[in-house]
């Protein structure tokens, strides 16, 4: 990885990770503000400033704290939220509500009410029933609500089936069966309190090719043409989602952002011109791409168990609760022994978590130098979907989150304590 510096201890974003582990304890999530901002700058130079009417919203499900809201706001990006909790975080952080998009396949009445009362910029509607709820709330509040309709374009991405979202058989989006999508469009267009701007799709996560985006765009622009002919609907926006792949292991063929965005913009322009459709504003929603490689997780190695002729297990003081992705969908990671970074990795171990689950394995067959209890392991590319998916399984407290800045390291989420685990419990007898 580009941010590895060859010294005795592994350094991340200019900081000695072994010293960070000593000072703040492990497990420890560590984020680089510089890397996050450099991704935002690439997004601006290669997309927002390059194309007219281009917009971007950070997909906050990847990683969201109030501090992250402040970084995203300062970089001029929008924010994509998918729940009342994420929306509430944005509200408390003072994020501009007109730059917020609310997603979700099963938004509650309360979540929609919160969004509309706080004047979010867009609601991405996932089913026709939702339109009736939005209209009821908007009428009562005397508001006009801008919406996009999420569709299931029938295009799958080349990724794990658990993070493929654009296929026909999906819990997400309005099916493209003519009667179904026409009902949703007609309902939105007839409403006095809803302004339908266009369609949204999301193909999947951590994609390394652009062909699925192009295929979905072809479907959506054809839909825009038909809706224009049948309903007089003129689409003002198209949201192509995110899902751009990042580096996890040497097997990943990572592409620059422009590989995706240039092809997306060309496909939209070409298809619109072919069909005589107005070119809409284009929105993308990168999340993992912005924050994934900006994070690492530091662990302390505990027991080392050798099974002669079979395998050596090195257990760390975290695992499944702070990173469920390997157990959830076989996510793969790379790592180094941070305090022995200058030593040759001449043996192989499997990194196991401490939970009471055989599936609590973080990394299979990692090359390392000789290791022992107390060594520090640094796992790369854990900025996305680690903290945000963390749990208290086995009553293990969640780690702290440390932000590395040019002005020093700053704790942006305190480490949970055992007392925190009990703070909301009540004994009824």
Query: Looking at 69, 272, 355, 356, which residue is catalytic?
Result: 356
Residue 114's nearest CA partner among 95, 137, 98, 94 is 137
* pLDDT tier at 154, thresholds 50, 70, 90: confident
Mean pLDDT of the chain: 94
Answer yes or no: CATH 3.40.50.880 is held by domain 33-290.
no
Question: What per-residue confidence (pLDDT) applies to 153?
Answer: 87
* pLDDT tier at 156, thresholds 50, 70, 90: low
Q: How far from 349 is each of 125, 301, 362, 371, CA to CA, in Å?
A: 47, 12, 11, 9
DSSP state of 162: G
Tell me: pLDDT of 160 over 60.
no
Tell me: pLDDT of 420 over 80.
yes
The reply to whether 356 belongs to the active site is yes
What percentage of the chain exceeds 70 in pLDDT? 95
Q: Are 330 and 373 in contact (CB under 8 A)?
A: no
In DSSP terms, 405 is beta-bridged to 408
Does this model's pTM top 0.75? My answer is yes
**How does pLDDT run across 10-34, given as a tens digit for each residue?**
999 999 999 999 999 999 999 999 9
Task: Return the domain boundaries, the chain.
Answer: 4-30+292-422, 33-290
Torsion region of 13: left, alpha or beta (phi above 0 gives left; psi -120 to 50 gives alpha): left
* pLDDT tier at 362, thresholds 50, 70, 90: very high
Question: What per-residue confidence (pLDDT) applies to 177?
Answer: 86
Tell me: pLDDT of 5 over 90.
no
Q: How far from 29 is each of 89, 172, 236, 326, CA to CA, in Å?
A: 19, 31, 40, 17
**How does pLDDT run across 166-178, given as a tens digit for each residue?**
445 668 789 888 9
* Second-level CATH architecture of 4-30+292-422: Beta Barrel (2.40)
* pLDDT tier at 204, thresholds 50, 70, 90: confident
Tell me: pLDDT of 106 over 50.
yes
* pLDDT tier at 124, thresholds 50, 70, 90: very high
H/E run at residue 186: helix 178-190
Hey, what's the torsion of the CAs at 193, 195, 201, 205, to 10 degrees?
-70
SS3 label, residue 103: coil
């Amino acid at each position: 990885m580009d941010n590895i510096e060859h010294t005795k201890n592994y350094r991340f974003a200019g900081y000695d990770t072994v010293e960070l582990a000593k000072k703040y304890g492990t497990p420890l999530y560590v984020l680089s503000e510089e890397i996050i901002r450099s991704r935002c700058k690439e997004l601006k130079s290669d997309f927002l400033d390059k194309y007219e009417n281009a917009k971007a919203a950070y997909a906050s499900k990847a990683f969201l704290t109030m501090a992250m809201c402040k970084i995203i706001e300062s970089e001029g990006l929008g924010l994509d939220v998918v729940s009342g909790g994420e929306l509430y975080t944005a509200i408390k952080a003072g994020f501009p509500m007109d730059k917020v998009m609310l997603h979700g396949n099963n938004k509650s009445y309360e979540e929609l009410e919160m969004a509309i009362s706080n004047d979010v910029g867009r609601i991405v509607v996932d089913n026709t029933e939702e339109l009736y709820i939005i209209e009821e709330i908007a009428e009562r509040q005397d508001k006009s609500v801008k919406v996009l309709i999420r569709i299931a374009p029938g295009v799958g991405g080349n990724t794990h089936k658990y993070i493929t979202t654009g296929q026909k058989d999906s819990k997400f989006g309005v099916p493209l069966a003519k009667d179904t999508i026409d009902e949703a469009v007609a309902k939105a267009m007839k409403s006095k309190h809803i302004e339908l701007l266009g369609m949204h799709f999301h193909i999947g996560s951590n994609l390394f090719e652009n062909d699925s985006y192009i295929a979905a765009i072809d479907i959506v622009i054809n839909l825009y043409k038909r809706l224009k002919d049948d309903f007089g609907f003129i689409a003002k926006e198209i949201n192509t989602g995110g899902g751009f792949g990042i580096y996890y292991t040497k097997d990943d063929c990572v592409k620059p952002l422009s590989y995706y965005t240039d092809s997306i913009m060309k496909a939209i322009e070409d298809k619109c011109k072919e069909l005589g459709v107005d070119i809409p504003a284009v929105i993308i929603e990168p999340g993992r791409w912005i924050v994934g490689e900006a994070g690492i997780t530091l662990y302390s190695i505990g027991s080392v168990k050798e099974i002669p002729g079979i395998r050596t297990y090195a257990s760390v003081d975290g695992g499944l609760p702070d990173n469920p992705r390997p157990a959830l969908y076989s996510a793969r990671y790379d790592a180094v022994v941070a305090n022995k970074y200058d030593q040759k990795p001449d043996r192989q171990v499997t990194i196991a978590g401490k939970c009471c689950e055989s599936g609590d394995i973080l990394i299979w067959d990692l090359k390392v130098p000789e290791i022992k209890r107390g060594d520090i392991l640094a796992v790369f590319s854990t900025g996305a979907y680690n903290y945000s998916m963390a749990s208290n399984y086995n009553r293990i407290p969640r780690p702290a989150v440390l932000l590395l800045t040019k002005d020093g390291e700053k704790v942006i989420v305190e480490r949970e304590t055992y007392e925190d685990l009990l703070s909301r419990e009540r004994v009824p007898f």
